Amino acid sequence: MNHSPLCFDEMFAEDGSVRPAYAGYREWLHGQDAASLRRKGIEAESFFRRTGITFNVYGDDAGEERLIPFDMVPRIISAHEWRKLVKGIEQRVTALNAFLHDIYHRQEIVRAGRVPQRLIADNAAFLPQMLGMAVPGGVYTHIVGIDLVRTGPDEFMVLEDNARTPSGVSYMLENRETMMAMFPELFTKVKVRPVSDYPRRLAKSLAACAPACAGERPTVAVLTPGIYNSAYFEHAFLADQMGAELVEGSDLRVVDGRVAMRTTQGYQPIDVLYRRVDDDYLDPLSFNPASKLGVPGIMDIYRAGGITIANAPGTGIADDKAIYSFMPEIIEFYTGEKPILANVPTWRCSEKDSLAHVLEHLAEMVVKEVHGSGGYGMLIGPTSSKKDVEAFAQKLRAKPDNYIAQPTLALSTVPIFAKSGLAPRHVDLRPFVLVSPKGIDITPGGLTRVALKQGSLVVNSSQGGGTKDSWVLED
Amino acid sequence: MLGRTANGAYWMARYLERAENTARLIGAGFRMALTRDASMAQEEWKSVITTLGQAKAFEAAYGPDYAGERVWNYLLRDKANPGSVLAQIEAARTNARSVRTALTREVWEAINEAWMVLKDALARPVREGALGQVLAAIRRQATQVRGTFDGTMLRNENYNFTRIGTFIERGDSTARILDVKYYVLLPSLAWVGSSLDNVQWESVLRSVAGERAYRWLNAGSIDPRGIAEFLLLDQRFPRSLHFCVDKLRSNLFGLAHEYGHETEAHELLRSLSTQFHHTTIEQVFESGLHEFIQAFIKANQQVAQAVELDYRFYA
């Protein structure tokens, strides 16, 4: 067991003893032999291939379908830890929605001087088209993914808010299915809270956000860019599990003041559109005129209250990493409470003093693009060469507004099954949160992403990360 | 159900059926070629390619040299051939992927597996010694998809659109096989008894997996007229034209029942169906076998086009 003394390992304490949440799992593990576990790993991979749980790759190998590596050691969270996370996430998501409502209406938070005007007005994710609009049910972010990292026994921090179209929930569900298929006896031994009803909860939550014109059973559809999108599997999976239609832009048009889909029997209106298409492509008449993925005129119908779009256009501004740095203020401003979940300390390079500090400590920091995602375009100081750090400093000086910086965190580890046996690897956690006028609903667990390379801190699947089944234990 | 989804399910079925039919045709051609000298064997292979409507494209790529190994590799896996079995399986899977919500998980997995297995089997050129195995694998994969489809799908619109695709394609395929062989076989209709033609006829039966059924029904005697009747008009044989028409009828009327109204496609199918019920093999030969088959191919296409329009397959 080689684990770095600097990082908190979630399974083993420093003295090598197993932590309480993992006790049941560890006991089961002792009764298994390594060879048969390895065989199970191969089985799991062929299972994923057979069922087509793949993601498409952009760039060099475009068109190829790949698997996200799956690791068989679960990531386990105790009931007690989860309760605290739930409180923190609820508080944060409530604040996010209040913030979005505010910046698209009176902008009280700007008037109060808590968030600078330019961060809103000059932000590409801010959509003037949404100003003054009353969104159905007052909900902006129907589905949110909050990325959490851990640095100690009681230290969970929010690394990122995904308020546009968080992906990965299908892996949360399929990872559990796979674990239950491979090790059924494990689940009779350890009591794990189920995640399988997420699609039903999603369908219910979306239906509760239907516009006033919808009937008793609102029609929900999932809008996908199509089979070549990297997350197509997930779009099809969720539509299938919800019993909703999976539509593409070419299936939709405006008919009699509603957005309608072309069925074998004519056009039928849609009440709630769970769109997995970016804002910019949603409506060629309002946004990118070259878009073929959206629906011409959908924004007019939306404004007139004829459809619910989930998530609402313009929520991307809450994903923004510069806005992220203000989240503690945002939470306090709208909830009147101190944040339950801390932010990772963040330097805004747009501020002169901060920039100076960041440049001085660049080799120890993680620097991210304000609008970036997927682990692209970032610098991880400690693992970069001197030359790369120097080159990044140039970029930083040229466009400081474009970057934020954070200390390199000692992310917690959970063991994976490596060739040599259990080996600790860094992880994060993305719980999935549903918001409707009826309340906030958080599925116990989420997606654990794991950096498979020893020492690596990058967990993104596009950068060689894998996933784990994430367990929340019953009380 | 979305029009695009109906379209995807329909084409998924057509491509799968086409892949299987192509494999059967290659199998029959291979058997024929084995019993011929080299130049006659080339004629056989040419007739296989002609039946599939790919003679022009083949000659553009390889000229008029119809060497067996070249022909079957062209038909099975050639990258220059957009109608290869591999391309058809890929197209079937792409369509299935785009309509995943219309299929059960088991059907999707069967198609995905067919694609994985055949992509692997067709990754390298197929040598003579391996051809039988490869063709068997194609038939087996198609059968597995059909089996899961039959065993797990709800009998609703999804099912009906998929089956319509299957039987439009199958009827078209059987008709084309007969139409190509018809020229070769025409003399033997009057002049029965030559053993060569018997082999030809048997090959036709084999290419639609009908040799055993026919022999069983006819106590082993090969009679060209009887074979034509069997392939055109026998309602019991699952690859005869009449069988395909019957199935189209029941699936189209399943849609009418579910939707509460009929369409143009129903009109067309009804008249085609009536024609089959009232035609005898004597009448077919009197008015001309070729003409009969051509008329069927056209009518079958009209039904297909009407389905695409009536059910809004395209925007």
How does DSSP assign A131-192, residue by residue?
TT---GGG-S-SEEEEEEEEEETTEEEEEEEE-S----HHHHHHHHHHHHHH-HHHHHHS-B
Instruction: Find the CB nearest A240 among B98, B100, B259.
Output: B100
Mutation to test the A interface, candidates B7, B95, B100, B120, most A Cβ within 10 Å:
B100
Domain ranges of chain A: 25-344+409-472, 345-408
Taking each helix axis as running N to C, give the angle between helix B128-152 and helix B105-121, from 0 to 180 degrees, rounded to the nearest 10.
180
According to CATH, the topology of domain A345-408 is: Dna Ligase; domain 1 (3.30.1490)
Beta pairing partners, A152: A155
For A263, name the nearest residue in chain B, comparing CA atoms only.
Answer: B2
Query: What order of strands is seen across the sheet that includes strand A403-407?
Result: A347-348, A403-407, A365-369, A379-380
Q: Are B4 and A52 inside 8 Å of each other by CB?
A: no
Q: Which residues of B touch A227 (CB under 8 A)?
A: 94, 97-98
Instruction: Find the CB nearest A227 among B2, B5, B97.
Output: B97
Q: Are B4 and A236 inside 8 Å of each other by CB?
A: no
Beta pairing partners, A406: A366
Q: Are A262 and B157 inside 8 Å of each other by CB?
A: no
Would you give per-residue pLDDT tens digits along chain A (475 residues)?
344 557 899 999 999 999 999 999 999 999 998 888 888 888 888 888 777 777 665 555 545 677 788 999 999 999 999 999 999 999 999 999 999 999 999 999 999 999 999 889 888 899 999 999 999 999 999 999 999 999 999 899 999 999 998 999 999 999 999 999 999 999 999 999 999 999 999 999 999 999 999 999 999 999 999 998 888 999 999 999 999 999 999 999 999 999 999 999 999 999 999 999 999 999 999 999 998 899 999 999 999 999 999 999 999 999 888 899 999 999 999 999 999 999 999 999 989 999 999 999 999 999 988 876 666 778 888 888 999 999 999 999 999 988 999 999 989 999 999 888 899 999 999 999 999 999 999 999 999 999 998 888 888 777 778 999 999 999 8
What whole-number distance in Å separates Cα of residue B22 and Cα of residue B45?
13
Residues A130, A314 contacting (CB under 8 angstroms): yes
Domain ranges of chain B: 1-153, 156-315
| Residue A255 half-sphere exposure toward CB, CA atoms < 13 A | 13
Cβ-in-10-Å burial (0-12, 13-18, 19+) of B48 comes to buried
In terms of DSSP H, where are the helices of A52-147? 79-103, 108-111, 117-121
- In sign, the C-alpha dihedral spanning A32, A52, A442, A426 is positive
For A52, name the nearest residue in chain B, comparing CA atoms only.
Answer: B112
